[in-house]
Amino acid sequence: MENFKDTINIILLVAAIVSLAIGILKNGFPDGLINGASILVALTIIIVVSSGNNYISELRLAKIVAGANVQEVKVLRGSATEILTIDSRDLVVGDIIKFNMGEKMPADCLLISGQDVKTDESELTGEPDQKEKETVTEEGAKVGDACYILGKSLCVGGSGSAVIIAVGDYSVSGIIESKS
């Protein structure tokens, strides 16, 4: 759509210049400027106003997009016993998050406690099935175990606590995004 508007503006500019040239050839120098110059002035005003509106719209859209990535997360950090609420972009490996049904997981993590936790990982894997999650055991976790919760997956059942094991570009979603 923008290219179409730009093309129309160029055509109108050419038409104004042609009108200006014809007016000068037909009526002489001072009198022939009236029609062409008035078209050029009107066209300049239209282009400036529409460019300003487009710029303001782009700024608003960028602000909306930046706000869409903000997610508040309840976290226990370090040896603290008090739950903090922070932006998910500030999470680090080792943070313990608290989550409930309906929340999107902010990063890759291991489930350390929870009840009836189920996640929807379709945004990453494309699989529509809900995955039941189990707490990690003392023996540890193997790749593919049900204790792993992928970032950007939606908690569709239960609630719990999980320890962050990967954030940003090092998470599964970060790796997928960097390859696309």
Look over the chain and give the mean of its residue pLDDT values, rounded to a whole number: 86
Beta-bridged to residue 157, according to DSSP, are 118
pLDDT over 60 (residue 1): no
At 84 the pLDDT is 86
Q: What is the DSSP letter of 104?
A: B
Nearest to 120 by CA among 163, 149, 87: 149
DSSP string, 64-88: HHHHHT--EEEEE-TT--SPEEEEG
Neighbours of 16 (CB within 10 A): 20
Do the strands 130-132 and 148-149 form a parallel or antiparallel pair, or are they unpaired? unpaired
Tens-digit pLDDT profile for residues 116-140: 999 999 888 888 889 999 988 877 7
At 141 the pLDDT is 72
Q: What is the DSSP letter of 136?
A: -
At 143 the pLDDT is 67
| Domain residue spans of the chain | 2-68, 72-179
72-179 topology per CATH: 2.70.150
Distance between CA atoms of 23 and 38, rounded to whole angstroms?
A: 12
pLDDT over 80 (residue 57): yes
Nearest to 164 by CA among 148, 176, 153: 148
